[in-house]
Amino acid sequence: MKGLYTALMCSFDEQGNVNEKGLREIVRYNIEVSEVDGLYVNGSTGENFLISTEQKKQIFEIVKDEVGDQVKLIAQVGSLNIEEASDLAKFVTDLGYDAISAVTPFYYKFDFEEIKDYYNTILEGVDTQLIIYSIPALTGVNMNLEQFGELFENEKIIGVKFTAPDFFLLERLRHAFPDKLIYSGFDEMLLSASVLNVDGAIGSTFNVNGKRAKQIFTLAQGGKIDEAREIQKVTNDLIEEILNNGLYQTIKEMLKTQGVNAGFVRKPMKQLTEERAIKARELAKKYL
């Protein structure tokens, strides 16, 4: 399960329906061009929190059908509706996904016992492994070392997608839990996380920047920090320009220049203006 995983985008049509052909093309691009080790399906980048349960299941089915056993697959099933999360966990386990992941429950100020019960409930009656998705900036959930340790007492919880700039906590996690999988979740901090010996990374921009990300990770593992730093600099130039132009919309437009039908974003996200679409195409020409 180690390596680089793309936080997979999903192609939607103008009405917000799943565009199956486009989704399959995004999958193929990530495997054949970006050459990532796996796909993280129905995370934030897949606009997961904007779609219905049936659409989530449709996406899980299409991706598994397209991938087969070519690369590893992690299914993000987390939801404020715990029945939905449990249902999705069973659904993807039956489909043959390699692991599930679940974002910490958000919006309401859950205490840690409630968060722990959430994860344990999702895993009840499911023969699968789970990766915690920790992204405090968006969920408001900050867990400390001891709390991660309590969650890891459930042997089915095998690791964490660590999307936070707290590198002190990241180092402490790595030291305290050498047998757990730790994935870096911030693409712009991949080198810094790699130096701390993470097991891999899961990133949005890997949809268009997977090769560079893999180079950074591999070079850092080999101690070639100066070379990795140069590639991280180029990567961060790209990330900065993408963020300034509109994250998901720009990545989708860049994919379109590569012949991938990446479709549209779902409302309430807005589509790119023509000016921003031109900028996205310029970025593709510059970086891809």
101-160 per-position pLDDT tens digit = 999 999 999 999 999 999 999 999 899 999 999 999 999 999 999 999 999 999 999 999
The mean predicted confidence, pLDDT, of the chain is 98
CA nearest to 212, candidates 203, 91, 139: 203
Annotated binding-site residue? 204: yes
CA nearest to 71, candidates 38, 34, 30: 38
Annotated binding-site residue? 185: yes
Mean pLDDT for 196-210 is: 98
Mean pLDDT for 253-267 is: 98
Among all residues, which ones are annotated catalytic?
Answer: 133, 161
Are 132 and 160 in contact by the 8 Å Cβ rule? The answer is yes
Annotated binding-site residue? 101: no
Give per-residue pLDDT as tens, 74-86: 999 999 999 999 9
| β-strands 130-134, 181-184 pairing | unpaired
CATH of domain 3-224: 3.20.20.70
Dist. CA 16–CA 13, nearest whole Å? 5
Mean pLDDT for 21-50 is: 98
pLDDT at 12 over 90: yes
Annotated binding-site residue? 45: yes
Spell out the domain ranges in the chain.
3-224
pLDDT at 65 over 90: yes
